[in-house]
Amino acid sequence: MDALIDIRDVKLTYETKGGRLPVLDGVDIQVPEGGFVAVVGPSGCGKSTLTRLIAGLLEPDAGEVWLHGERVTGPKSTVGMAFQNPVLLEWRSVLRNVTLPLELVAPRMPKREKEERARQLLALVGLEGFEDKRPSELSGGMRQRASLCRSLVHKPDVLILDEPFGALDAFTREDLWQTMQKVKSEEPFTGVMITHDLRESIFLADEVIVLSGRPAVTQYTMEIPWEGERDLDRLYGPEATDMLGELRRQIQIAQGRTSREGDA
Ligand SMILES: Nc1ncnc2c1ncn2[C@@H]1O[C@H](COP(=O)(O)OP(=O)(O)O)[C@@H](O)[C@H]1O
Ligand SMILES: [Mg+2]
């Protein structure tokens, strides 16, 4: 078994007051160790639901989620998560927000060691000098950087990101993409990232998976053929344009629309 994250034919239906809502109808995703997969799909198709299944916060009705050769049956500390709107604790400094997972997962680790680890990550994402600030003193991009540090501080086997840069402006987002690359080379992780930004997906991921409309199935998979470090210029070149065109076409199929000439 090669995949560190192995999502096998997962199905999930929510029981709501209004009746049954089938959300996932057979999603398959395999991520090898050190791999990073982006998942895109129409709004409401079940992407966040999928992250909750990987994190063990929800159980599938059918199919299985395996992490590191173990079946997921509940929340695990070996999973790190980050979301679109980082929930940072206002009464704690940035540093103490980042050390929080260590307080839960490694209570015996000396405080100095916890703080050292947090400082090292904060420096990696460009937040050196902001350790003692309160979250409200940070910009949106900086809060997201801090949140990323917090999700990685306990060296999780798996990182799950749900539209982490969705609330940021385009320029800040591109900065964060570059930071993510740096983080990935210094602090290797295996991850799944949900995004609605196709350019972001091809810049950061090894593979982009398009989910169909709800109830979602794995509709399409695109390998990103780029080796080594990626630069932003490449993202505006002809190769990227072709990949983005195909992904856009797949999203339109997922949305139940056929693509029209010149449709962007
Ligand atoms: N806890 C829940 N109970 C009932 N319905 C839910 C719940 N969470 C999400 N949904 C519904 O399931 C569908 C998929 O939601 P979600 O996974 O958040 O989609 P996405 O992240 O792709 O936008 C949506 O129609 C949403 O309203
Ligand atoms: Mg969502």
Instruction: Give the tens place of pLDDT for each residue, 17-65.
Output: 999 999 999 999 999 999 999 999 999 999 999 999 999 999 999 999 9
Q: Which of 73-82, 94-103, 107-116 has the lowest mean pLDDT?
A: 73-82
Main-chain dihedrals φ then ψ at residue 70, nearest 5 degrees = -120, 135
Near ion ligand 2, which residues have CB within 5 Å? 47-48
Ligand found nearest the CA of 49: 1
Q: Tell whether ligand 1 has an atom less than 6 A from the beta carbon of residue 47.
A: yes
State residue 262's pLDDT score: 40
- Please give the pLDDT value at position 1: 55
Would the CB of 49 count as within 6 Å of ligand 1? Answer: yes
Quick check: CB of 163 below 6 Å from ligand 1? no
Residue nearest to atom 17 of ligand 1 (CA): 46
Residue nearest to atom 14 of ligand 1 (CA): 46
**Extents of the domains making up the chain:** 1-78+159-164+189-264, 79-155
Average pLDDT for 135-162: 94
Segment 156-207, tens digit of pLDDT: 989 999 999 999 999 999 999 999 999 999 999 999 999 999 999 999 999 9
Q: For residue 131, what pLDDT band results from cuts at 50, 70 and 90? A: very high
- The CATH code of the domain at 1-78+159-164+189-264 is 3.40.50.300
pLDDT computed for residue 258 by the predictor: 45
Report the C-alpha gap between 57 and 55 in whole angstroms.
Answer: 6
Is the pLDDT at 263 greater than 90, yes or no?
no
| pLDDT at position 260 over 90 | no
Read off the pLDDT of each residue in 120-141 and give the average, rounded to a whole number.
96
- Residue 64 parent element (H or E): strand 62-67
Res 264: pLDDT: 41
Indicate the pLDDT class of residue 259, thresholds 50, 70 and 90: very low
For residue 258 and ligand 1, the question of a CB distance below 6 A is answered with no
Mean pLDDT, the chain, integer: 93
Whole-number pLDDT of residue 229:
80
Which one, of 180, 184, 185, lies nearest residue 126 by Cα? 180
67 C-alpha vs ligand 1 centroid, how far in Å? 23
For ligand 1, atom 6, the nearest C-alpha belongs to 14
How much distance in Å is there from the Cα of 12 to the middle of ligand 1? Answer: 11
Q: What is the pLDDT of residue 257?
A: 56
**Residue 116: per-residue pLDDT:** 97
Q: What was the pLDDT predicted at 127?
A: 96
Q: What integer pLDDT is reported at residue 261 of this predicted model? A: 41
- Is the Cβ–Cβ distance between 141 and 172 less than 8 Å? yes
**Whether pLDDT at 228 is above 80:** no
pLDDT digits (tens, 9 = 90+) for 200-227: 999 999 999 999 999 999 999 999 999 8
- In whole angstroms, give the CA distance from residue 46 to residue 76: 21
d(CA 192, CA 205): 9
Ligand 1: does its nearest atom lie under 6 Å from the Cβ of 211?
no
pTM here is: 0.93
Q: Which atom of ligand 1 is nearest to the CA of 14?
A: 4
At 87 the pLDDT is 87
- Rounded to the nearest angstrom, the distance between the alpha carbon of 24 and the centre of ligand 1 is 10
Give the atom of ligand 1 at the shortest distance from the alpha carbon of 45: 22
* Distance from C-alpha of 218 to C-alpha of 214, rounded to nearest angstrom: 11
